[in-house]
Structures are given as C-alpha cells and as structure tokens.
Amino acid sequence: MNKEITFAIIGCGRIAERHALHINNVGKLIAVCDIDENKAKQLASKYKIPYYLNIEDLLLHHQPHVVAICTPNGLHAQHTIQALQAGCHVVCEKPMAIHTQDCKTMIATAEQHKKHLFIVKQNRFNPPVQAVKKALEQGALGKLFSFQLNCFWNRDDAYYTDNWRGTKSIDGGTLFTQFSHFIDLLYWMLGDVKQIKTITKNFAHQHSIEFEDTGIVLVEFENGVIGSINYTVNSFEKNMEGSITLFGENGTVKIGGEYLNVLEYAQVKNYDFGVLPKGNEANNYGSYKGSMSNHHKIYENVIDVLNNKATISTNAFEGMKTVEIIEKIYNEAK
C-alpha cells in the first residue's frame, strides 16, 4: 500500500500557493515557513496548518517527507541543503541556484543523505514541447543545423520594487528569474554548450535592477548546432513571445506563443504531429504572467518516484547544467 507523503513549504510567495494546491491533491501539506509572518500566516490559515518564521523551527517540530523550496533564487541552495540534512527529500523551484558550485554542493548533500532532489522545470510538460522532444528522439528532423530562441516579455519597474528581484546577489539576473526554463529546454533538446558570445545591456531599468534587461547570445553546441538567444523584459506593456525554432535537414519546427505553449510551425518530412492536447494556462501573478502551469505534473512525478521508484522528470544534474550555461553566458558578457 502506498503511504501518504507529507510536505512542508519554505517561502510563501505567489508560487508557493500553486505548490500548496498541487501538494494537497497528491499528499498532505503539514507546515509552511516564511520570514514574512503575514505571508506565512495567510498560506497556513488556508490549509489549517502551523506556520514558522524560520526553517530551523519548522524542521525542529516536523519531519515532512518532502520540503518544497519556494524562496528567492539566491537562497535555494542554503534552504535545500538544510532540508536535505534534516532527512527530507526536496522539490526546488527554478533556478536550482545562481552558482554552479552551489548546485554541486546541493547534489553532494542529497547523495550523502540518500535523498531525492527534484528541480521544477514545468515547461518540459507543455504539449508542443513534449511533441518536439519526441520527434527529436525519433530523429524526425534528421541532422540539426541551427536554432533560434526568442524571449520577449514585459517586466516593469513596479515588478522589481521593494523586493529581492533585481538584486545581483539574490535574483542573479534576467536569465535566472525569467528565462531559465527556456535555457533548460535548449539543453534538454540540444545537449551541452561548446562556446558562447554575449552582449547584454540595461536599457529601461537602470533604477530598479542591478543587471541586464536585454541580451543577445550566440551559441555553438557540442553537436555542432549553432544559433542565437534573443531576450528582453522590455516588450511594451505585455509579454509578446517565448519561442524556440529548430532547423534540421528534414524539417523545421517552431514552438511559440507567449510561453512555449503553441506548435506554431511544423514542416517535417514524412512526420505528422497530429492534434496536440491543449496545454494549461500560464501562471497568473496578477500584475504579470509567468511560465506555464504544469506543477501538478511535478508532484505526480514526486509521488511516483517515492512510492514506485519511478525516474525523476528533471534531476538535479540537469538543473545544474541550466545554471552552468547561464553562468557561461554572463561570464562572457563581462
């Protein structure tokens, strides 16, 4: 008989609400924690569970099977390591961390304590992304030549006001907070990176962020595929596009829409994608929208791994590779 899996959440911001919803569909949320008492209290009262103001107190009073880390980017490593050391499995929101070395420490800690470390990469579950990944695995596009990744979103000054976002030490950069999912999919589809050339600028957010709001990156992968990453948070008033286009000897495909949620173009020799299932809506955070809402898939996988010894949908090594590629991009920009 499968046991009921218990969970705690560290960090009670907007994304934690989505985690809590899906946790209670597959297991039981037993405690939450945030340094902001109002946020912690609000989430805890909704599920009639205790809240704590620091991770140490929570782990002292509870022994959840799994801890979901929903704190700011730069705190993911510290909080993940604390939870693993307390004997908990961990579901860590993207990005896994903002330094590759921290990712290595997280992986080593998970191995040392024989615990699973899941990284949230929900865009992998978007129907067109899954369909294109399957086509690649079947060799339908033949030899791949090049790619184009476009990330054109809107984040105004208000988005960065009076919080951790926009800081180099905790946020890390636009690629970490807005577009790490897109970098993950490039790695997932094309493999490791060989060389990178980068230009970044901060055009419209000089008073609100400590890094770039726009970047152009030229990339060559180890398999010879070349292409460009074009990204900005200066799309006027709203998100415009999030897309990946692949060019191969036997086909061209474009996954587009605002959030990689539409198969916009598919011309592939002797291959039919058929009718794809409709994806979920984008995460709506009120004043802005984020990536697709597939967190239920993450938690279904967590339960499957813990109860049935299934394979982790996004393992910690893959999470680290995304951070490694983003670090390379930023190091080349200096």
Say what the pLDDT of residue 118 is: 98
For residue 245, give the H/E element and its range. Answer: strand 241-248
SS3 71: coil
pLDDT band at residue 199 under the 50/70/90 scheme: very high
> Residue 160 and residue 177: Cα distance in Å, rounded?
12
DSSP annotation string for 105-174: HHHHHHHHTT--EEE--GGGGSHHHHHHHHHHHTTTT-SEEEEEEEEE-B--HHHHTTSSTT-TTTT--H
Whether the per-residue pLDDT at 287 is higher than 60: the answer is no
Q: Domains of the chain (ranges plus CATH)? A: 6-119 (3.40.50.720), 123-281 (3.30.360.10)
- Hey, which residues does 251 pair with through a beta bridge? 248, 268
> Residue 242 and residue 183: Cα distance in Å, rounded?
12
Whether cis (ω within 30° of 0) applies to the bond prior to 95 is yes
> Residue 258 and residue 214: Cα distance in Å, rounded?
17
**Residue pLDDT, tens place only, 134-170:** 999 999 999 999 999 999 999 999 999 989 999 999 9
> Residue 38 and residue 224: Cα distance in Å, rounded?
51
pLDDT band at residue 185 under the 50/70/90 scheme: very high
> Residue 313 and residue 122: Cα distance in Å, rounded?
10
pLDDT band at residue 259 under the 50/70/90 scheme: confident
Say what the pLDDT of residue 53 is: 98
Say what the pLDDT of residue 292 is: 58
> Residue 293 and residue 26: Cα distance in Å, rounded?
16
Tell me which residue of 283, 73, 261 sits closest to 167, measured CA to CA. 73
Whether the per-residue pLDDT at 291 is higher than 60: the answer is no
Q: Is 161 exposed, middle or buried (0-12, 13-18, 19+ CB in 10 A)?
A: exposed
pTM: 0.94
Say what the pLDDT of residue 258 is: 86
